[in-house]
Chains A and B, each alone.
Chain A
């Protein structure tokens, strides 16, 4: 007796769609996993030129004065370059103790100290300062991550070390 087997299976079209769908799902899973440890790039745009924000730190130019007023530390900054400065991070440097301690950040001129402008601010960290102390002033820039504003502290090599007067 001959029984005709009825062979049925997935059509090539359905099989292809399934394979593509599987590949997409796996790619999305890998992407979501990898995104967790990928560093987001902060970008800054000046005159239509958009670059990684750290590339602008080397082009910064500014001068700073540090002085005590009623035993409070005051910082005056003048932007002598072309790149707007958002603020500065103040670090107390103690050569004897071999320490550098962050004492706070000052936002300058409402967050945009443009070329030629000057601004000053007070440090309210509770860390005592005396005349002759060394202070490292590191500029902070404003950039964007996915159209969201965020600030970036430049590396200390782009900062200026000043003595409290």
Chain B
């Protein structure tokens, strides 16, 4: 008996393959590529800010004084020059302040208010009885801050905060600061 084998014709098979390819490409373009792009963007958004904020040593700060048993740290922060388009992404910075027993993160964000309380930070120029919003240095600028602590700080690190909410890795750090003269 001779087997009677039937299947798809070459034309129909080609059309099917083409259709499947088009569907796959559409799915790739609509779902996979935007998903991958967004995730890659998040993974690289800190790269321009790797060395953006640094401690400014051109002033006679980055030191502490003791007032009423509390440690008042005066810290100068400098923003490097970057392209204006990137500036919009920088929302401020965070300071990771470490003492012998603990460490904590102090957020310095655009528009947030300064504080003279323990654990609070304010612009150096603002008196405690008339605190304004924290000023963040623009590219190429510097600002100094006053941070009140109950303990001696053993280290301070600074890293960028982006408008997406992401906190980037530390771009600069200081060990124990000297007493202000």
Contact = CB atoms under 8 A, between A and B. Distances in A.
Interface of A: 33, 36-37, 39, 89, 91, 94-102, 138, 153, 155-156
Interface stretch (B96-104, B106-114, B139-147): B139-147
B157 interface: no
Given A98-B61, A100-B140, 11 more contacts: A33-B40, A36-B41, A37-B48, A89-B140, A96-B125, A98-B144, A100-B56, A100-B141, A101-B138, A101-B141, A138-B140
B148 interface: no
Nearest to B140: A102
Interface string B123-153: 1110000000001011011111000000000
Contacts of B140: 89, 91, 100, 102, 138, 153, 156
B124 A98 contact: yes
B60 A100 contact: no
B44 interface: yes
30 contacts: A36-B44, A37-B48, A39-B48, A91-B141, A94-B125, A95-B59, A95-B60, A96-B125, A97-B124, A97-B144, A98-B56, A98-B61, A98-B74, A98-B76, A98-B125, A98-B142, A98-B143, A99-B125, A99-B137, A99-B143, A99-B144, A100-B56, A100-B140, A100-B142, A101-B138, A102-B138, A102-B140, A102-B141, A138-B140, A153-B81
Interface centre among A94, A100, A153 (most CB of B within 10 A): A100
Contacts of B143: 98-99
A146 B122 CA distance: 43
B67 interface: no
Chain B interface residue number, banded: 20 to 34
Contact of A99 (B40, B41, B141): B141
B12 interface: no
B49 to A, nearest CB: 11
B54 to A, nearest CB: 12
A138 B135 CA distance: 22
Contacts of B31: none
